[in-house]
Each structure stands twice: as C-alpha cells, then as structure tokens.
Structure 1
C-alpha cells in the first residue's frame, strides 16, 4: 500500500508556481531557518550557509514545476539544500581529502571510556573546525538522518568509507572539545 503525501502548503505552492512573490516569501519564511541550519551543518560557515540557502531557494522556485508532490515540499527543498551545500563544499575544494591529513592525529587519539556531557555550543563550535569531509558525513548521519548506504550514494564514496569517516569525525570532535575544555 502506497502512502500518500499530504502537503500542508499546497495552496502556497500553487501560487508560487504562478510566480506569486508574496507566496514565495511565505514559503521562504516557513522554511528558511530549518534549511539554513541544514546548510550550516554541511558547510560549517554561516556566510557559506547563507549563500547555499539563497541558491537553494532560487533553484527551488525556478524548478518548482518539477516538484511532483510524492514527498513533502520540505523534504524536496531539503534535498535541494543538501545538494547545493555539497556542491558548494566541493567548489571551494573542502573535500574529504582533507580527512587524510588528520588521520594520523585521530588514529593516535584514544577515546574516553565514558561519554562526557557536552553543551550544544561546544559541539557547534567544534563542528566548525572539523575538516569538511568529517563534518559532511557527521551532519548527514546525525542531523539529517541518512544511513551510511544513503551517504555513500550521495557523496559517491563506499559505505565503509562513510562509516570510517563517521567514526573518525566523532573521535576528532571529542578531541577538539576535550582540548577546548582543558585549554579554553
């Protein structure tokens, strides 16, 4: 049995398809914060996230006719944001090759046996300093809810690479936060 997607903003979307600027602004207001956060988690930079957000909304409104309503509008838009963010990261050459430079550091790091409690601000700040490959896999897995198979397809890497990047990202994140707590 196939589940039907009910779009709670169907009337706004129809108006957007007719180039109604006020409807586009309403859609923007409804989704901009969540989509900005998605872009920020992937790019790691507020200015880059704002650029990605702008590009994503422009693209979404230009290609709204391709929205088939087989998923919620928010899910469709989030996919555009994720793709734009990943493309942005690749354009500025912050790809997963940077992770290899850090591999020796993380392999020497022995994670703690008990998980300390970190504040949200500590995690956010530490994530900004992660190499983009680590940050991208960690964001897609933890925050966007993709599994390693989906991440491997999105990024064009193997599933085992996704898993190892995720583990290394977690270890590196813990190390960064621990250093900040001890020396901050």
Structure 2
C-alpha cells in the first residue's frame, strides 16, 4: 500500500449501512424464518462467493451447498450478535458468516496442510484465506479462449497468480468483491472497512494494475 492509499483509506469511516427497522423487528420475533428468507434471496451471491474462493485442492470433495448450509446454521446461532450490533445490513453480515465458514472448512479439510492454504488477512476483524490471487488467476485464465490445453492453463494460472500476489491484499479484495462477487461499491466499502470514496479509488487503481498485468502476459483479450 502506498502512502496515498493509506491517506485515502483513513480519511473517512466506512459507510454505516443499517438494516430496515421492519426487518429487524421481524428478526426479533421470528429470527430463523426471516434469516431463511433473506438467505434464500441472496443464496446465488453466496454460492458465487464460495465457488470463487474455494481452494481447488478441496473443491472436488466439498460441495458449495454444504458450505452454505453450515453457514446458515452458524448465522442462526449468532443472530443475537447481529441484533446487538446492527452496524451492517443483514446481507453484509450473512456474507461475512459465509466467508468465515469457508475459512473453517479449509482448515478442517486440509488438516496438516492448512499452513499451505496461505497466510490469512484480517478485514474488519474477519479472517480471510490469502488465496484471492489464486482465485482471481484461475477465473481470469479460464475466461481466455487462447489458453486451451490443461497444462498451459495451469502454468499460466500459476504465473498470473504470482503476478497478482504482488498487489496488496486489499487491492485483490477490491477486485474480487466488485468484479467477481458483484458487490456494489458501498457494499465493498463496508466489507473492507474503508470509505466509499476510498473503495472506489482503490478499485479503479487495482483494476488498472490488473489490466497491466494481463497485457504483460498477453491475456488482455
């Protein structure tokens, strides 16, 4: 992160997105049913989060739907924490639960390999596996029709991941949240914990840097 990045990120607080008071009232009366309704509305977005960020070493034996079910159970157990805090919308809070559940799944299934999952980065008190560069690389290479053979894809994916790894963790997250998870700028700002302006500036800079990387590797098509 450059000095200018730090100034941008610290100049304002992240947006305070509050849940609809009517939804909060319903949650207090019939929490699990309301959670189920909201979870169902956003299920496709959560599914994309899981499939995008899941370590490929466990993808063949872990079903994304099972991760989502585990996340929903965890959310039901922790609902009172959300109701006491209320600093997030229900969607953002549930997304954090899903992301943390995926971290837990990685730890369980990789066992003694868990150190090789990579470092973890803390964003607003939540731990995320430092595999965003690998996820970004895999999805970007998969979209390239010019890279057809499996061996070529793997080699290019590794090269691209190493290049993306040179970007800061927050820059990688900005691209992942906006471009691959489809979060709005305001939602991404709240997840990362920076102002809306800073989130927008960071995303633009990160996207520009990613474009340079793709051009250097002849993957800008």
Question: Which among 65, 86, 109 is matched to residue 50 of structure 1?
Answer: 65
Q: From the superposition, tell whether residues 116 and 5 of structure 1 become closer, same or farther in structure 2 (CA, over 3 Å).
A: closer
1:24 positional shift: 3.0
Measured at CA, do residues 71 and 97 of structure 1 come closer, stay the same or move farther in structure 2, by a change above 3 Å?
same
Question: Do the aligned partners of 2:50 and 2:64 also contact (CA within 8 Å) in 1?
Answer: yes
**Structure 1 residues 88 and 66 mapped into 2: Cα distance closer, same or farther (>3 Å)?**
same
Q: Deviations over 1:32-55 (max 9, x none)?
A: 111111112122538432121111
The Cα of 1:14 is off from its aligned counterpart by 3.2
Provide the TM-score with structure 2 as the length reference: 0.43
Is residue 38–residue 91 contact of structure 2 (8 Å, CA) maintained in 1? Answer: no
Query: Which one of 104, 109, 116 corresponds to residue 97 of structure 1?
Result: 116
Shift of 1:56: 1.0
2: CA distance, partners of 1:88 / 1:116: 25
Query: Are 2:18 and 1:6 equivalent residues in the alignment?
Result: yes
Residue 144 of structure 1 is matched in structure 2 by 177
Matches within 5 A, 1:83-94: 83-93=100-110
State the 1:72 CA deviation: 1.8
- Structure 1 consecutive aligned stretches of length 4 or more whose deviation exceeds 4 Å: 137-141
Q: Where does structure 1 lack aligned partners over 5 or more consecutive residues?
A: 100-114, 151-166, 178-184
Q: Please state how far the C-alpha of 1:82 moved relative to its aligned partner.
A: 0.8
Name the TM-score, length of structure 1 as normaliser: 0.50
3-state SS of the aligned residue for 2:103? helix
Higher relative contact order (CA 8 A, sep 6+): 2
Q: Which blocks of at least 5 consecutive residues in structure 2 are unaligned?
A: 1-11, 119-139, 162-168, 179-187, 193-209
Give me the CA root mean square deviation.
Answer: 4.7
**Distance (whole Å) between structure 1 residues aligned to residue 80 and residue 23 of structure 2:** 13
Match of 1:24 among 35, 41, 50: 35
Paired position in structure 1 for 2:143: 118
Deviation at 1:85, TM superposition (A): 0.4
1:5-48 CA distance string (max 9 Å, x none): 2324x433432333355423321222211111111212253843
Task: Choose from 31, 50, 58 the match for 1:39.
Answer: 50
| Shift in CA distance, 77/24, structure 1 to aligned 2, threshold 3 Å | closer
